[in-house]
Structure 1
């Protein structure tokens, strides 16, 4: 199965042997995925969201990084589907994947701190991990994100009892 947008039209390709019910199910699933990926809209105004993220980053930097690593810009993006976030130390910018929205605050805080630590130390060396040692939820947040990535890559949804 695959889906792409050509000339403004979503085209879903599925195997020819699918039953009408399987076809309907997969087309609905692919439309939902593509809509979330390409047509996601922030819940609040972009300027307001960026301002709130900037304040959040400043507070986290004060509390856990000794005031270091505050980005010049930080914002939500919809074009990051293989990473939770990214940082560009040269521009002091941080981009957070829209896929983080709705995750627990302590997980999003960890991702923000992780990217701010990259603004101080670009590589994942001992200095980098030492910067994150003050945040008490680092290991739990990493495990949460690993689980979320595992489920997303396997199209798992629902509760463990349903799987």
Structure 2
């Protein structure tokens, strides 16, 4: 008979949080997570979710990468979003009589197949990062298009009547249709 005490589960030597450039970044490990690593803000705090099977070095590397990427995205987004909101307000006033008042207008890195989107129920407008390089009149049309969705859902006659006052409407629509066609045909980089 052995007199050894019952074995205890070994404590994971990895920390529950890292200090990355002065910000405390929490780590949440999951036994179910196999390959993916992701990050999000929870109550203002950055949380990185990782597979429990990562080594301490891999985990630290991913936490550093994702926290810097999130900080860069947030910094870039705040500067750009305010200019986007200002332009949306100007276009709403100029072409829609100031009736379209979004709750937020922001850039989106998630939209790959759409130039923009609008959620009328919440008043949120998102514009694809890919739209940054569009000519000014085409970009204004894109933003105005999403603003009009705050007034009229769908693309029926009432919707197009809201946009009828925009002088470059047909040219901008044609431009975006041409870009979409080129992308579908693999003619762009």
Common topology (TM > 0.5) = yes
TM-score (norm 1): 0.69
Determine which structure has the larger strand proportion and give its number: 2
Pair 1:96-2:127 in alignment: yes
Pair 1:71-2:85 in alignment: no
Give secondary structure in 2 for the equivalent of 1:152.
helix
Moved beyond 6 Å, runs of 4+:
none
Kindly report which structure 2 residues correspond to 1:1-163, keeping only aligned pairs within 5 A, or say none. Answer: 7=35, 45-157=76-188
RMSD of the alignment, in Å? 2.3
Determine which structure has the larger helix proportion and give its number: 1
Give me the whole-angstrom Cα distance separating, in 1, the residues matched to 2:175 and 2:35. Answer: 38
Give me the whole-angstrom Cα distance separating, in 2, the residues matched to 1:138 and 1:51. Answer: 25
- Unaligned stretches of 5+ residues in structure 1: 1-5, 9-38, 159-163
TM-score (norm 2): 0.60
The alpha-carbon deviation at position 88 of structure 1 amounts to 0.3
Give secondary structure in 2 for the equivalent of 1:87.
strand
- Unaligned stretches of 5+ residues in structure 2: 1-33, 37-68
Give me the whole-angstrom Cα distance separating, in 2, the residues matched to 1:110 and 1:82. Answer: 17
Give secondary structure in 2 for the equivalent of 1:120.
coil
The alpha-carbon deviation at position 46 of structure 1 amounts to 1.4
Which structure is larger by alpha-carbon Rg, 1 or 2? 2
Give secondary structure in 1 for the equivalent of 2:78.
helix
Q: How many residues align?
A: 123
Counterpart in the other structure of 1:22: none
